[in-house]
Amino acid sequence: MMLPMDKSVGAIVLAAGFSKRFGGIKLLATLADSSTVIAQTMQRINAALENTVVITRPELLPLLSPYGLNLKVFEHADLGMGATLAYGMEFAQQWSGCLVCLADMPFIASSTYQTLADQITADSIIIPSYQSRAGNPVGFGSRWFTQLAQLDGDSGGRTVIKKNPEAVRYIPVDDLAIFNDIDTPDDLSRYQPQDIQGSSE
pLDDT band at 33 (very low <50, low <70, confident <90, very high): confident
Per-residue pLDDT of 54-82, as tens digits, reads 999 999 999 999 999 999 999 999 999 99
- Number of H helices and number of E strands within the chain? 8, 8
The pLDDT value given to residue 193: 60
Domain extent listing, the chain:
9-192
Is residue 10 within 8 A of residue 48, CB to CB? The reply is: no
pLDDT tens digits along 116-148: 999 999 999 999 999 999 999 999 999 999 999
pLDDT tier for residue 197 given thresholds of 50, 70 and 90: very low
In angstroms, how far is CA 130 from the centroid of its own chain?
17
pLDDT at res. 91: 97
Which CATH superfamily does the domain covering 9-192 fall into?
Spore Coat Polysaccharide Biosynthesis Protein SpsA; Chain A (3.90.550.10)
pLDDT tens track for 156-195: 889 999 999 999 999 999 999 999 999 888 988 888 764 4
Region 23-37: what's the mean pLDDT?
90
Q: How confident is the model at residue 7 (pLDDT cuts 50, 70, 90)?
A: low
44/22 Cα distance (integer angstroms): 23
Closest Cα to residue 42, out of 102, 93, 90, 92?
A: 102
Closest by alpha carbon to 71, among 2, 154, 26, 14? Answer: 14
